[in-house]
Structure 1
Amino acid sequence: MKNVLFLLFLIPLLSNCQTEKVTISKYPAHVGNIEFDQNIDDPNFKRCILDDRYAYQYYNDSKGFQYKGEKLAIIEKLNKSNILSDKNSNGYITVKFLVNCQGKTGLFRVQQINNDYQEVDLDNQLKDKLLTFTKSLDGWMSKEIDGKKIDYYQYVTYKIVDGKISEILP
């Protein structure tokens, strides 16, 4: 009888002992984070902030967009590149990337949307040309917040009208 009571007492205790389940989220730690992808990212690109789950956005400080010569220098370089499309496409091609504390860039990602803001493949040749062009921009400035050099996300959006780049945003 004593053993039966002991088992009746022990069974509820054992059933409540569960090992903690570890779940891995498919979502990044912060909206907009770019995770390293060994298939497309340069393994030599180094982040300065050791916690690679976090980086600032380019607008997190009062300086905003930081490129030597500002956006005008990018526009002038783009005009010299004479990048055009063979297609008569309209929409936006956005290249997002990380600028580390040394002003070096990496972790490039591209998104194409139409004028209704729906993801589409506008023109993959134009997309590749703009990605190459954006990777060639070497005037990104490092940033500091509270006296500490930081990594930050930057993006450049190209507005496409009739297959031509009509504007660079932001």
Structure 2
Amino acid sequence: MSKYPGTVGDIEFDEKLDDPVFKKCTSDKLVNLQYYQGSKQFDYKGEKLAIIEKLEKEKISSKNKMNGYITVRFLVNCEGKTGLFRVQQMTTELKGMVQDKELEDMLLRFTKSLDGWIPKEIKGFKVGYYQYLTYKIENGKVSEVLP
């Protein structure tokens, strides 16, 4: 067994962070696609606009008026279910650091609640893929959702 993941960027299961019920959809022939592989379309029912509309209804914000970015990266399996969530905060200068744990937790919960992810297909086989959402934060509020 190699100490390196099958593909650069693969997220390994962590029993402290991950739901043991979530299953990757892989075989010897199929791997999970990275966000830079495959189609460039946003594979969510209603596309990114649906996510933005749902986020606006949640009114998520921070009391400390931080500025920066919070990225949530995760895996969408061949059933359209999500898991293996990882979060990273960055300053506006793109330096990694935790500025607001409470806001991070709110955005992680919000991202986990999104249930419209569409499985990708390659030659008739549904495959899993990595997805990320980066929330641009200005004065403690989400000003933009990337990509």
Fold match (TM-score > 0.5): yes
**For 2:81, which of 100, 104, 129 is the aligned residue?**
104
Counterpart code for 2:13: F
Partner of 2:37: 60
Partner of 1:38: 15
Partner of 2:127: 150
Q: Distance in 1 between matches of 2:135 and 2:63?
A: 16
Q: How does 1:12-161 map to 2 (within 5 A)?
A: 25=3, 27-50=4-27, 54-161=31-138
Unaligned 5+ runs, structure 1:
1-21
If asked which structure has higher relative contact order (CA below 8 Å, sep 6+), I would say 2
Alignment check: 8 A CA contact 2:31 2:127 kept: no
Q: Distance in 2 between matches of 1:63 and 1:149?
A: 17
Query: SS state of the match for residue 68, structure 1?
Result: coil
Paired-residue identity, %:
61
Q: Distance in 1 between matches of 2:131 and 2:39?
A: 15
Deviations 1:103-147 (A, max 9, x none): 000000000011111101121000000000000000000110122
Partner of 1:166: 143
Normalising by structure 1, we get a TM-score of 0.81
Query: SS state of the match for residue 56, structure 1?
Result: coil
Q: Distance in 1 between matches of 2:140 and 2:80?
A: 31
Deviations 1:65-96 (A, max 9, x none): 10000001000100000000011211100000
- Give the Å deviation of 1:50: 3.1
Unaligned 5+ runs, structure 2:
none
Structure 1 residue ranges, 4+ long, deviating more than 6 angstroms after superposition: none
Larger-Rg structure: 1
- Give the Å deviation of 1:59: 4.0
Alignment check: 8 A CA contact 1:58 1:65 kept: no
Normalising by structure 2, we get a TM-score of 0.93
Partner of 1:5: none
